[in-house]
Amino acid sequence: PNALHAEQSVAFLDAGKHVLVEKPMAVSVEGCDAMIEASRRGGASLMVAHCWRFHPDVIAMRDRIASGELGEVVKTRGYGVHAGWGPKGWFIDPALAGGGALMDIGVHAIDTARFLLGGPTPERVCAAIGTRYGPYTVDDDAIVLIGWSNRTNSVVESGWWHQHKEGMEADTEVYGTKGYARIFPREEPSEDHDHAPQSIYTAQMQEFLSAIEQGRAPTPSGNDGRVVMEVVERAYASAGHAA
Would 40 be classed as within a structural domain?
Answer: no
Give dist(CA 90, CA 104) in Å, integer.
Answer: 11
- Parent domain of 128: 51-193+223-239
State the pTM of this model: 0.94
Would 86 be classed as within a structural domain?
Answer: yes
In this prediction, residues 160-178 reach a mean pLDDT of 90
In this prediction, residues 137-164 reach a mean pLDDT of 96
Would 231 be classed as within a structural domain?
Answer: yes
Band (pLDDT 50/70/90 cuts) for residue 150 is very high
What are 19's strand-pairing partners?
Answer: 46
Would 43 be classed as within a structural domain?
Answer: no
Would 119 be classed as within a structural domain?
Answer: yes
pLDDT tens-place string over residues 180-189: 999 997 766 5
pLDDT tens-place string over residues 1-16: 999 999 999 999 999 9
Would 228 be classed as within a structural domain?
Answer: yes
Give dist(CA 35, CA 41) in Å, integer.
Answer: 10
Would 201 be classed as within a structural domain?
Answer: no
Q: Which CATH number do you get for residue 167?
A: 3.30.360.10
Q: Are 12 and 44 in contact (CB under 8 A)?
A: yes
Residues above pLDDT 70, as percent of the chain: 95
Q: Are 130 and 141 in contact (CB under 8 A)?
A: yes
Would 118 be classed as within a structural domain?
Answer: yes
Q: Are 152 and 124 in contact (CB under 8 A)?
A: no
Give dist(CA 67, CA 124) in Å, integer.
Answer: 26
Q: What are phi and psi of 124, to 5 degrees?
A: -135, 140
Q: Are 167 and 193 in contact (CB under 8 A)?
A: no
Number of domains in the chain: 1
